[in-house]
A and B are shown apart, each in its own frame.
Chain A
Amino acid sequence: MDIIFTGFDQIFHLQNLLLMAGGLVIGIVIGAIPGLNVPLAVALALPFTYHMPPLAGLSMLIGIYKGGTHGGSISAILINVPGAPAAAATAIDGYALARQGKAGKALKLSIYASVFGEILSDIALILAAAQLAKIATTFGPAEFFALGLFALTIIGFVSGDSLIKGVIAGCMGLLLATVGMDPLESMPRMHFGFYELTGGLHFIAMIIGLFAISEALIQIENSLRTTASRTVIEISQKGDDNRVTWAEFKMVFPTMLRSAPLGIFIGAIPGIGSSIAAFLAYGMAKNMSKQPEMFGKGALEGVAAAESANNGVCGATFIPLLTLGIPGDVITAIMLGAFMVHGLIPGPTLFTEQGGFVSAFMIGMLITSCMHLFVALIGLRGFIQAIKLKRSLLFPLVIVLCITGTFVAGGGQFPIYVMLGMGILGYLMTKFGFPIPPLLIGFILSPMIEDGLRQALLISDGDLAIFYGRPIAMGFLVMTAALVIWITWKHLRTQR
Chain B
Amino acid sequence: MARVDIIAGALLCVFGIVIYFAAPLTVGEYNEVGLTPWSFPSALAAAIAVLSALLCFNGWRNRNRENSTEKAEEEGSRSASTPHIIAAIVVMGLYIIGMPLFGYLLATAATLLVLSVIYGNRRWLGLFIVAAVSPPVLFFFFQEVMIILLPEASLF
A contact set with B: CB distance below 8 Å: 48, 51, 164-165, 167-168, 171-172, 174-175, 178, 182, 184-185, 187-192, 213, 216-217, 219-221, 223-225, 227, 390-393, 395-397, 399-401, 403-404, 407-408, 413, 416-417, 420, 423-424, 427, 431-434, 450, 453-454, 457-458, 462
- Which A residues are CB-close (under 8 A) to B27? 182, 187-189
Given contacts A164-B58, A391-B119, contact A404 B26 (CB under 8 A): no
Q: Would you call B134 and A397 a contact (CB within 8 A)?
A: yes
Residues on B with beta carbons closer than 8 Å to the beta carbon of A219: 119
Interface residues in B93-139 by Cβ distance below 8 A to A read 93, 95-96, 99-100, 104, 108, 111-112, 115-116, 118-121, 126-127, 130, 134, 138
- Bound complex: CA A423 to CA B81 (Å): 17
24 A–B contacts from the bound complex (CB under 8 Å): A164-B51, A164-B55, A164-B58, A165-B55, A168-B52, A189-B26, A216-B88, A221-B77, A224-B120, A393-B127, A396-B115, A396-B119, A399-B88, A399-B115, A403-B95, A404-B104, A420-B93, A427-B85, A431-B4, A433-B1, A450-B40, A453-B35, A457-B35, A462-B34
Note all chain A residues with C-beta closer than 8 A to B41: 175, 178, 189-190
CA distance A174 to B42 in the complex (A): 11
Picked from A217, A225, A408, the residue with its CB within 8 Å of the CB of B89 is A217
Q: Does B72 have its Cβ within 8 Å of any Cβ on chain A?
A: no
The secondary-structure label for the interface of chain A is helix
When the two chains form the complex, which single residue of A165, A188, A217, A393 contacts B121, counting CB atoms closer than 8 Å?
A393
- Given the contacts A174-B44, A175-B19, A190-B41, A408 and B148 also touching, CB distance less than 8 Å: yes
Q: State the CA gap A175–B26 with chains docked (Å).
A: 14
Nearest Cβ on chain A to B12's Cβ, whole angstroms: 6
Contact call B148/A420, Cβ cutoff below 8 A: no
Complex alpha-carbon distance, A188 and B41, angstroms: 13
**Cα–Cα distance between A332 and B2 once the two chains are bound (Å):** 33
Q: Is B111's CB under 8 angstroms from A224's CB?
A: no
A160 to B30, CA, bound (A): 40
A17 to B30, CA, bound (A): 51
One digit per residue, 1 when the CB lies within 8 angstroms of any chain A CB and 0 when it does not, for chain B 9-52 equals 00010000001001100111111111101101100110110011
Bound Cα distance from A51 to B146, whole angstroms: 7
With A174-B44, A191-B26 given, name 14 new contacts (CB 8 A): A189-B27, A189-B38, A217-B89, A224-B80, A392-B120, A393-B116, A396-B116, A399-B88, A400-B112, A404-B150, A408-B142, A432-B4, A432-B8, A462-B33
* Contact residue among A51, A172, A184, A224 (Cβ-Cβ distance under 8 Å from B32): A184
Q: Is B63 an interface residue (CB 8 A)?
A: no
Closest chain B residue to A213 by CB distance?
Answer: B92
Q: Which chain B residue has the least Cβ–Cβ distance from A175? A: B44
Give min CB distance, B47 to chain A, whole Å: 5
Residue B54 interfacial (CB < 8 Å): yes
| Known A171-B47, A400-B138, A408-B142: A221·B81 in contact at CB below 8 Å | yes
Closest to A404 in B: B138
- A-B CB contacts (within 8 Å), total count: 166
User: Which of A182, A224, A403 contacts B37, CB < 8 Å?
Assistant: A182
| B residues less than 8 Å from A462 (CB atoms) | 33-34
Contacts of B115 in A (CB 8 A): 395-396, 399-400
Q: In the complex, what residue of chain A is closest to B96 when comparing beta carbons?
A: A416
Query: How many angstroms between the C-alpha atoms of A453 and B32 in the bound complex?
Result: 14
Q: A400, B119: Cβ atoms under 8 Å? A: no
A339–B104 alpha-carbon span in the complex (Å): 29
Given A187-B30, A396-B115, A400-B108, the answer on whether A167 and B37 have CB atoms closer than 8 Å is: no
How far is A401 from B135 in the complex, measured between Cα atoms in Å?
10
Contact A454 B35 (CB under 8 A): yes
Select from chain B the residue with minimum beta-carbon distance to A417.
B96
Enumerate chain A residues within 8 angstroms of B121, measured Cβ to Cβ: 390, 392-393
How distant is the Cα of A224 from the Cα of B80 in the complex, in angstroms?
A: 9
A168 to B130, CA, bound (A): 41
B116 touches A220 (CB 8 A): no
User: Across the two chains, which residue of chain A brings its CB closest to B40?
Assistant: A450
CB distance from A465 to the nearest CB of B (A): 15
CB pair B116–A392 under 8 Å, yes or no, is yes
Query: Contact at B148–A396, with CB atoms within 8 Å?
Result: no
Of residues 66 through 96 on chain B, the ones whose CB sits less than 8 Å from some CB of chain A are 77-78, 80-81, 84-85, 88-89, 92-93, 95-96
CB closest chain-B residue, reference A190: B26
B112 lies within 8 A of A434 (CB): no
5 smallest CB-CB distances across A and B, nearest first, come from A396-B115, A392-B121, A182-B37, A392-B119, A221-B81
- The interface residues of chain A lying within 8 Å CB-to-CB of B1 are 433
